[in-house]
Amino acid sequence: MVVVFIDDHRDRFGVEPICRVLRSHGVAIAPSTYYAAKSRPLSARARSDEAWMVEIRRVHFEVGRGLYGVRKVWHQLRREGHDVARCTVERLMRTEGLQGARRGRKVITTRPDHSAVRPADLVKRDFTATAPNRLWVVDFTYVATWAGMAYTAFVTDVFSRRIVGWRTAASMPTELPLDALEMAIWTRDGHSLDGLVHHSDAGSQYTSIRYAERLTDAGAVASIGTVGDSYDCDDAGVLVRSA
C-alpha cells in the first residue's frame, strides 16, 4: 500500500520527500526500499494471482453477469478444468472487491479499518450550512441489477442539498468514493474549499491514505460520525431523498 501511495504522488513531490514525510508520521520506509520494491521481479505467487484474477474477472462478469459469488465462480472454474483452490478464489475476489448477489442478506458497505487514524466528529448531527462548500456529506449505497450489484458513491453539499459528485461501479474499492470526490472538486472548480468539513462514516475507503491525502490537497477537513447507532451517515440519504 505504501508503494502504491508513493507511485500516485511521486511525479508531484518526488520519492525522497515523500519518504521523509512518511517517516515523520511513523511509516518507516527509505527511498532505497521503495526502489528495491519497484525493481524486484514478481514472485511466483504474484504471477499466479495475476493469471487467476484474469479468469476470475471473466467468470464473474461475463459468465455470471456480476451475480456469481465465491462458490459459483470456483465451481465454474473447476468445470472448465482449472485446478484452483476455493480459498484462492475467495482471497482474490475479496482483494478485488468482487462479490455476488445475495438473496435476503444485507450488503455491508461500511467496513472500518481499525488500524487507520479516525478524525473527530465535527458535525455532531447538525446537518446545516450557512453557505455552499461549508459542509459536504458523503456516503455510498447499492442496488441489485440484472447485470449484478451496482454501488454508487455520492457527495452532497448540505447547503443546497445538491449532489455535487457521484460515481457508480460494480465493486466498492477506495477508487469509488475517491472518483466521486474528484468530481465534486471539479464541479466546484474556482471556489475555495479551504475549511470545508467533509463528513463521512467510518468506512475504510474514507479513512484510506489516498483519500485523506486528496482531502488535504483540496483544503478540506475530515469528519467522521459516530459508530453503533442509526445516526451516523444515514442523514446523507435523507438529504438526497428530500432534495
Question: In the prediction, which pLDDT does 235 show?
Answer: 47
Question: In the prediction, which pLDDT does 119 show?
Answer: 80
pLDDT band (50, 70, 90) for residue 231: very low
CA–CA separation, 121 vs 128, rounded Å? 15
Region 179-203: what's the mean pLDDT?
89
Check whether residue 229 and residue 204 sit in a common domain.
yes
Check whether residue 172 and residue 218 sit in a common domain.
yes
Q: Give Cα separations from 132 to 170, 178, 197 (angstroms).
A: 31, 20, 11
Check whether residue 88 and residue 140 sit in a common domain.
no
pLDDT band (50, 70, 90) for residue 240: very low
Side-chain-facing half-sphere of 163: CA atoms under 13 Å: 17
For residue 129, tell me if it sits in a domain.
no
User: pLDDT exceeding 90 applies to what percent of the chain?
Assistant: 30
Q: Please give the model's pTM, rounded to 2 decimal places.
A: 0.51
Region 220-226: what's the mean pLDDT?
85
The answer on pLDDT for 185 being more than 90 is yes
For residue 218, tell me if it sits in a domain.
yes
For residue 89, tell me if it sits in a domain.
yes
> Could you tell me which of 119, 139, 120, 125 has the C-alpha nearest to residue 205?
139
pLDDT band (50, 70, 90) for residue 108: low
Question: In the prediction, which pLDDT does 201 show?
Answer: 84
The answer on pLDDT for 103 being more than 70 is no
How many folded domains does the chain comprise? Answer: 3
Check whether residue 51 and residue 31 sit in a common domain.
no
Mean pLDDT score of the chain: 82
DSSP 8-state assignment for residue 157? E
Check whether residue 85 and residue 142 sit in a common domain.
no
CA–CA separation, 84 vs 103, rounded Å? 26
The answer on pLDDT for 10 being more than 80 is yes
Check whether residue 22 and residue 84 sit in a common domain.
no
| Comparison of pLDDT for 192 and 78, the residue scoring more | 78
| Comparison of pLDDT for 104 and 16, the residue scoring more | 16
| Comparison of pLDDT for 10 and 1, the residue scoring more | 10
For residue 145, tell me if it sits in a domain.
yes
Query: Domain residues for 49?
Result: 44-96
Check whether residue 8 and residue 65 sit in a common domain.
no
Question: In the prediction, which pLDDT does 118 show?
Answer: 74
The answer on pLDDT for 134 being more than 90 is yes
Check whether residue 31 and residue 87 sit in a common domain.
no
Question: In the prediction, which pLDDT does 26 show?
Answer: 82
Check whether residue 50 and residue 32 sit in a common domain.
no
CATH number at residue 199: 3.30.420.10
Return the beta strands (E) in the chain as ranges: 135-145, 148-157, 162-169, 197-200, 221-224
Task: Give the angle 170-158-182 at the CA atoms, nearest 5°.
Answer: 45
